[in-house]
C-alpha cells in the first residue's frame, strides 16, 4: 500500500470558479469578492471541494458539510461500518466531524500498512492529540524512551516481584473484606459478575502501583475511585472521537478534574510508601520542566493505561486442554501463513488523513470461516476427539447456567478489551 504526499490546492490564488470579466472590470474588484472568498474558504474547510483521486479509496463525505457521518457513527459505529463496507468494500474514506478517516478492514492490507515508515504513517502525532483530548496531558518531546526504561525497571525483575506481592496482598484484603470468617455462619453474598471482577482487580492493581501497603482507608477511597473511573471509561470511546453531546462533555470535564485532584502530586506527597514506579516517572518529568498541573494529568493517563484493560481481561474463557491448545496454535499458524502469501492491492492514501485498522469485522467475523462468529463457544477450536475439558468440582458441572452469555459492547471496538452489554448476577461466600 503506497502513501502519496500531496499538497492541497489553495483557493486564494487565481480566480474563483465561475469568475468572469466584463466591461465593468474583474469580479475581484466588486464588493462581492470578499464575501465570495470567505464563502469559498469556509466550504473548503468543511470539505465541500474534496474529491476522490486516482487509486485512492472510495470517498464518502455524507450530506452534511464538516459533520459528515458523525451522527451515524456516534449512534452505532458497528452498523455504520458494516453499511459502508457493503457499499464501498474493505477500504474506504469517510468524513467524520471534520476529519477524514480511512478504515481498513481487509486483513491482507494490514501488513503493508504496519511496515510503512513513520515519515508516512505517524502514530505519535495522533497519539499526542488524543491524550491531550481525553486526559488533558501534553506529552514532552523526548519522554517515550525514558518512560519505557522506567517501566522496564519497575515492571520486570525485582520490581515486578515487589509489585506482584503487593497486588496479591491487596486482592486478599479486598476479596475477604466483606466475607465472614471463623466458625460463625457464612452468608451468601450477591453481586454482578463483571462489576465484581473489574472492581477487585482494578483496586488491587491501582493500590499496588500507587503505593505499597494499603490501609483500610485506602480500600474505601479506591472504591470511590473505581466508581468514577467506570463513568469516565463509559464516555471514553465517544470522547476519543470527539462525539460527546453537551451534557456528557460537562460530565467528562467534571471527571477529569476529579482524577487530576485525586491523583495529584500534592496529595501523593502526603502519603507513605509511594510506589517507585510513580516517583521515578514524576522525577523525570520534573527534570524536564513539566509543571505540576501537567504531572497530575500524566498520572491520570497512567491510571487509565495501566488499569483500563486489566479488570475486563480477568474474565477469561474456560481453559483449553493442553493438546487441543497446541492443535489450535498450529491451525492459527497455517492460517497466518496463507494470509501472508497473498498480495494486497495497491491503494494511495492522502496526506493528513487518519488511518484506522479495523480487524473486528474482518476474518474472525466472517461466517464462512467461523460459523456463528458472534456466538460464544468454549470448544470452538477443539476437535470432536479432543481431551475432555476440566469441570468445576469433582469432574462434574455444578449447575446449568440460568442466564445466557451477554453480547459484547461493540461501541468500544478499538479501545482495548471488549466488555459485555449487561452484567450477570452471581452468589459467592467464603469456604474456609
Q: Which of 88, 42, 41 is nearest to 62 (CA)?
A: 88
122: left (phi over 0), alpha (psi -120 to 50) or beta: beta
Q: What is the C-alpha separation between 65 and 226, in angstroms, rounded?
A: 40
Q: Are 318 and 378 in contact (CB under 8 A)?
A: yes
Buried b (16+ CB within 10 A) or exposed e, 358-372: bebbbbeeeeeeeee
- The answer for residues whose C-beta is within 8 angstroms of residue 346's C-beta and 6 or more apart is 1, 2, 55
Looking at residue 275, the DSSP 8-state letter turns out to be: -
> Mutual orientation of helices 276-287 and 193-210 as an angle, nearest 10°?
60
354 is in an annotated binding site: yes
Q: Which of 196, 210, 390, 385 is nearest to 300 (CA)?
A: 210
- The answer for residues whose C-beta is within 8 angstroms of residue 340's C-beta and 6 or more apart is 111
Q: How many CB atoms lie within 10 A of CB 99?
A: 16
Residue for grid cell 464518502: 60
Q: Which of 74, 105, 77 is nearest to 90 (CA)?
A: 105
Which run of H or E residues covers position 292? Answer: helix 292-307
380 is in an annotated binding site: no
For the purposes of burial, counting CB atoms within 10 Å of the CB of 272, is it exposed (0-12), middle (13-18) or buried (19 or more)? exposed
- Residues belonging to the binding site for substrate are 309, 354
- Residues belonging to the binding site are 309, 354
Amino acid at each position: 500500500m503506497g502513501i502519496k504526499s500531496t499538497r492541497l490546492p489553495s483557493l486564494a490564488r487565481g480566480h474563483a470558479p465561475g469568475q468572469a470579466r466584463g466591461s465593468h472590470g474583474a469580479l475581484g474588484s466588486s464588493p462581492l469578492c470578499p464575501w465570495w472568498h470567505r464563502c469559498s474558504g469556509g466550504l473548503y474547510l468543511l470539505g465541500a471541494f474534496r474529491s476522490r483521486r486516482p487509486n485512492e479509496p472510495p470517498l464518502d463525505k455524507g450530506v452534511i458539510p464538516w459533520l459528515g457521518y458523525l451522527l451515524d457513527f456516534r449512534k452505532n459505529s458497528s452498523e455504520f461500518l458494516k453499511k459502508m463496507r457493503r457499499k464501498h468494500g474493505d477500504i474506504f474514506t469517510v468524513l467524520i466531524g471534520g476529519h477524514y478517516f480511512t478504515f481498513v478492514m481487509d486483513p491482507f492490507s494490514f501488513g503493508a500498512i504496519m511496515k510503512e515508515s513513520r515519515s508516512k504513517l505517524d502514530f505519535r502525532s495522533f497519539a499526542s492529540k488524543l491524550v491531550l483530548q481525553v486526559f488533558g496531558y501534553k506529552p514532552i518531546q523526548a519522554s517515550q524512551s525514558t518512560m519505557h526504561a522506567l517501566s522496564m525497571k519497575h515492571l520486570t525483575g525485582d520490581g515486578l516481584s515487589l509489585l506482584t506481592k503487593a497486588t496479591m496482598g491487596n486482592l486478599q484484603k479486598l476479596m475477604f473484606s466483606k466475607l465472614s470468617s471463623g466458625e460463625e455462619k457464612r452468608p451468601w453474598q450477591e453481586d454482578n459478575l463483571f462489576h465484581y471482577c473489574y472492581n477487585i482487580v482494578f483496586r488491587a492493581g491501582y493500590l499496588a502501583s500507587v503505593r505499597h501497603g494499603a490501609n483500610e482507608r485506602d480500600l474505601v477511597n479506591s472504591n470511590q475511585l473505581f466508581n468514577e473511573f467506570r463513568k469516565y471509561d463509559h464516555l471514553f470511546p465517544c470522547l476519543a472521537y470527539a462525539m460527546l453531546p453537551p451534557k456528557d462533555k460537562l460530565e467528562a470535564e467534571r471527571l477529569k478534574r476529579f482524577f487530576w485532584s485525586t491523583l495529584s502530586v500534592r496529595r501523593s506527597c502526603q502519603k507513605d510508601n509511594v510506589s517507585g514506579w510513580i516517583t521515578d516517572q514524576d522525577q523525570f518529568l520534573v527534570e524536564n520542566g513539566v509543571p505540576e498541573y501537567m504531572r497530575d494529568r500524566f498520572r491520570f493517563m497512567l491510571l487509565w493505561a495501566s488499569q483500563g484493560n486489566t479488570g475486563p481481561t480477568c474474565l477469561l474463557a474456560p481453559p483449553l486442554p493442553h493438546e487441543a491448545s497446541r492443535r489450535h496454535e498450529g491451525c492459527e499458524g497455517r492460517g497466518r501463513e496463507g494470509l501472508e502469501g497473498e498480495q494486497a492491492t495497491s491503494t494511495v492514501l492522502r496526506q493528513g488523513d487518519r488511518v484506522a485498522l479495523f480487524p473486528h469485522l474482518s476474518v474472525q467475523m466472517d461466517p464462512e470461516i467461523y460459523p456463528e462468529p458472534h456466538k460464544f463457544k468454549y470448544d470452538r477450536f477443539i476437535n470432536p476427539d479432543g481431551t475432555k475439558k476440566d469441570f468445576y468440582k469433582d469432574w462434574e458441572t455444578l449447575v446449568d447456567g440460568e442466564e445466557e452469555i451477554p453480547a459484547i459492547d461493540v461501541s468500544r471496538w478499538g479501545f482495548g478489551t471488549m466488555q459485555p452489554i449487561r452484567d450477570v448476577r452471581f452468589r459467592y461466600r467464603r469456604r474456609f
